[in-house]
Amino acid sequence: MSEAAELSRAASIEAPAIVLDKVNKWYGTLHVLRDVSMTVAQKERVVVCGPSGSGKSTMIRCINRLESHQEGRILVDGTELTDDLRALDTIRREVGMVFQSFNLFPHLTILENCTLAPIWVRKMPKNDAEELAMNYLTRVKIPEQAKKYPGQLSGGQQQRVAIARALCMKPKIMLFDEPTSALDPEMIKEVLDTMIELAESGMTMVCVTHEMGFARRVADRVVFMDRGEIVESGTPVRMFEDPQTDRLKLFLSQIL
Ligand code: ADP
Ligand code: MG
């Protein structure tokens, strides 16, 4: 390998998982992301919190290019997010996403939900895709549900399927947008336990959640957003025990 190639290979190994550099986004005239800058290292676990409407989902969706930003730069694993279709393809392969509302395909079985993208996007042979899916369904502790349809499962089980489905694409980064907020209290723990296991396996994760126990347990860093800005960030202990801004103090007093 040439020296230049070696250097660029080393640079790509060292590239942070995610970089946001002065990102701005508007919906029409509504300024929803204001100079948002954040770097997520490989294997880092970041929890994003903040009041409703503060731009958390928008930020997460920009990282996955479900939304586009108007100013600033976003790089995922060293690839800048642009309208270039190859960049988009890279991002979609490397980044898995789990939504509040599960978003499973209701007319497909659990197994089919998990094998669809590996077969059609990754061109994986069906048998291999099914084996992979069963591995992940076992990992999220519901292999016995494989032949059922989403409507036959509880919310907690459906969300674990959504996590398994995302993992079947072998993402390097997982994004979660309030994965437990649509769940009944008794189902929140089973989903958080799955996420904790994933975090402990070394997955790079950005999780929008108000589950502060989860944040304390696995987050390397907590990022607090309000009105489109990152107001404050730090370790969970520092953020929860020694908030520096009135906005974070107020937010914590409302959720804890
Ligand atoms: P959060 O996830 O923190 O609750 P969002 O990112 O969903 O916040 O929303 C940020 C702001 O952008 C809110 O004022 C919301 O109403 C607005 N918004 C979100 N999505 C859209 C959209 N598709 N079109 C117009 N406004 C939107
Ligand atoms: Mg949201």
Of 25, 57, 208, 209, best ligand 1 pocket probe by most atoms within 8 Å of the beta carbon? 57
What does the pLDDT read at residue 204? 98
| Residues 15-31: tens digit of each pLDDT | 999 999 999 999 999 99
> Which ligand is nearest the CA of 68, by number?
1
* Ligand 1 center to 190 CA (angstroms): 28
Q: Is the pLDDT of residue 12 over 70?
A: no
Residue having the nearest C-alpha atom to atom 1 of ligand 1:
53
What does the pLDDT read at residue 5? 58
- Those residues whose C-beta lies under 8 Å from the C-beta of residue 96, and which sit 6 or more positions away, are 166, 167, 169, 171, 173, 174, 175
| Residues 35-58: tens digit of each pLDDT | 999 999 999 999 999 999 999 999
Distances (CA, A) of 239 to 76, 204, 225: 26, 21, 12
Which of the four pLDDT bands, split at 50, 70 and 90, describes residue 89? Answer: confident
Q: Could you tell me if 82 and 45 are in contact, meaning their C-beta atoms sit under 8 angstroms apart?
A: no
| Residues 237-255: tens digit of each pLDDT | 999 999 999 999 999 999 8
> Which ligand is nearest the CA of 178, by number?
2
Residue having the nearest C-alpha atom to atom 19 of ligand 1:
58
The Cα–Cα gap between 40 and 42 comes to 7
Cα–Cα–Cα angle for 214, 102, 224, rounded to 5 degrees: 40
| Residues 151-162: tens digit of each pLDDT | 999 999 999 999
Which of the four pLDDT bands, split at 50, 70 and 90, describes residue 199? Answer: very high
Ligand 1 atom closest to Cα of residue 58: 6
pTM above 0.90, yes or no: yes
Q: Which of 20, 27, 15 has the alpha carbon at shortest distance from 72?
A: 20
> Which ligand is nearest the CA of 36, by number?
1
Pairing status of strand 79-80 against strand 71-76: antiparallel
Q: Where are the alpha helices (DSSP H) in the chain?
A: 3-14, 56-63, 85-94, 110-120, 126-139, 155-167, 185-200, 212-218, 236-241, 246-255
Q: Is the pLDDT of residue 98 over 90?
A: yes
Q: How far apart are the first and last CA of the chain?
A: 54
Q: Is the pLDDT of residue 177 over 80?
A: yes
104-127 average pLDDT score: 96
Of 48, 57, 58, best ligand 1 pocket probe by most atoms within 8 Å of the beta carbon? 58
* Ligand 1 center to 55 CA (angstroms): 6
Q: Is the pLDDT of residue 150 over 90?
A: yes
Which of the four pLDDT bands, split at 50, 70 and 90, describes residue 92? Answer: confident
Q: Which of 114, 86, 88, 100 has the alpha carbon at shortest distance from 191?
A: 100
Q: ipTM of the predicted structure?
A: 0.98
* Ligand 1 center to 57 CA (angstroms): 7
The Cα–Cα gap between 246 and 254 comes to 12
What does the pLDDT read at residue 52? 96
* Ion ligand 2: residues, Cβ under 5 Å: 56-57
What does the pLDDT read at residue 1? 52
Burial 80-97 (b: 16+ CB within 10 A, else e): ebeeeeebeebbbebbbb
What does the pLDDT read at residue 13? 61
One-letter amino acid identity for 97? M
Of the given ranges (5-19, 127-141, 171-185), which has the lowest mean pLDDT? 5-19
Tokens of 214: 């989860």
> Which ligand is nearest the CA of 51, by number?
1
* Ligand 2 center to 67 CA (angstroms): 13
R_g of the chain computed on alpha carbons:
19
Which of the four pLDDT bands, split at 50, 70 and 90, describes residue 84? Answer: confident
Q: Could you tell me if 61 and 95 are in contact, meaning their C-beta atoms sit under 8 angstroms apart?
A: no
Task: Count other Cβ atoms within 10 Å, centred on residue 110.
Answer: 27
What does the pLDDT read at residue 80? 93
- Those residues whose C-beta lies under 8 Å from the C-beta of residue 30, and which sit 6 or more positions away, are none
Pairing status of strand 229-234 against strand 173-177: unpaired
| Residues 200-243: tens digit of each pLDDT | 999 999 999 999 999 999 999 999 999 999 999 999 999 999 99
Q: Give ligand 1 pocket residues (Cβ under 6 A).
A: 27, 30, 32, 50, 52-58
